[in-house]
Structure 1
Amino acid sequence: MDSEREAAWELYVELATRVSVVELGEDEGLLREALSSLYTVFATTREILRRYGPAVAPRVPPGHLTFGVLAVNVLNLSIRPLLSRWHPLLTAHEATRGDHVDPVAHERRWSRVGELRAEIESVRQVLLGLAQALNEVAGVGDLITVRVPRPTTAEAATERPR
């Protein structure tokens, strides 16, 4: 159980600190960056699975899940299909960009940008669900949805360092 808890924590931190679980606004970021972030999640998840080995994927009764089952299913049923479909399509579009064309503007003019953003959002929702499960297994505080209030400009100006 300690191995599953530690593996859950590692993957939870990975998800909590990546574009993969943060909502990508319509005029924010590049789709290429989002896909690259998902590639990194894929690689990191495989690394965690290798490092912790069979301890995170023991045989369990039907209806019970392990870290290994959750992680592999998210990779193979959510992330892999998105990357397999959209990486080559986006690469082909990027290849049509002229030398003096802004990459952000070029990407946003792509006729399929809305479709890809919708699929990234769908995978993000799956990853948020995974992150919540990992949070429970790791037994830690919420790093994704809890936000620390930022002081207003006036409060920041009058606040003294301690």
Structure 2
Amino acid sequence: MRRMLRRGRGGLRSQEVSVRIAIPFVAEIGGVWAPVDAEREAAWELYVELATRVTVVELGEDEGLLREALSSFYTVFGTTREILRRYGPSVAPRVAPGQVTFGLLAVNILNLSIRPLLSRWHPLLAAHEAQRADHTDPVSHERQWSRAEELRNEIANVRKVLLALAQSLNEVAGVGDLITARIPRQTPAADPS
């Protein structure tokens, strides 16, 4: 990855970032990203959105609800559109072939990764949910679904795409890692008395 760094408010910021994001069964999108300040700000906003949602956190086999995961992806879709509208054309300038922008990356991730997941699985899961008996709790009913594992696998694939996007957003925003970095646990101090 080729990059030049400069000091910014959040520390070192990349002036140029090489981006490669593989979208399973579709394509690889990427190129060189030379972000302007509006793109850095938009990158930070979307990075925070991704870092605080189940969209980039691995969903264990017996964890969470698939409905909540799909709802989280749906929210990311809406928030990304809102960020694009708020920053306007400044995050999607015309660029030469082989270069990318925040707008180009965001729209491609929405249309090639998140939209297919939602448009396929939302109606299928809704149809299964509609068959739940009154005495069956939603968690048990969802876990009994014959297609639950298939949906979890597709969620995991989209998660990898969003993690790759988040890494690029993180680099452009010039901030610390909020997704994988953890604060070390402190052991309680011994009582001196």
Identify the TM-score tier after normalising by the shorter chain: over 0.9
- Matched with 1:14 is 49
Q: Could you say which residue in structure 1 is the equivalent of 2:149?
A: 114
Partners of 2:58 and 2:78 in 1: how far apart? 21
Does the alignment pair 1:105 with 2:137?
no
Structure 2 counterpart of 1:35, from 70, 73, 76: 70
1:81 corresponds to which of 105, 116, 119: 116
- Taking the aligned partners of 1:159 and 1:49, their CA distance within structure 2 comes to 53
Structure with the larger RCO, 1 or 2 (CA within 8 Å, 6+ apart): 1
Q: Which amino acid aligns with 1:115?
A: E
Aligned to 1:156: 188
TM-score (normalised: structure 2):
0.79
Specify every segment of 5 or more residues in structure 2 that has no aligned partner in the other structure, as ranges.
1-35
Aligned with 1:94 (options 95, 115, 129): 129
The runs of 5 or more residues in structure 1 that have no matched partner are: none
Count how many residue pairs are aligned between Structure 1 and Structure 2. 157
Runs of 4+ in 1 over 4 A off after TM superposition: none
Supply the RMSD in Å over aligned alpha carbons.
1.3
TM-score under structure 1 normalisation? Answer: 0.94
Q: Secondary structure of the residue that 2:100 maps to in structure 1? A: coil
Deviation of the 1:156 alpha carbon: 2.7
Structure 2 CA distance for aligned equivalents of residues 159 and 18 of structure 1: 38
Whose helix fraction is larger, Structure 1's or Structure 2's?
1
Q: Secondary structure at the match of 2:113?
A: helix
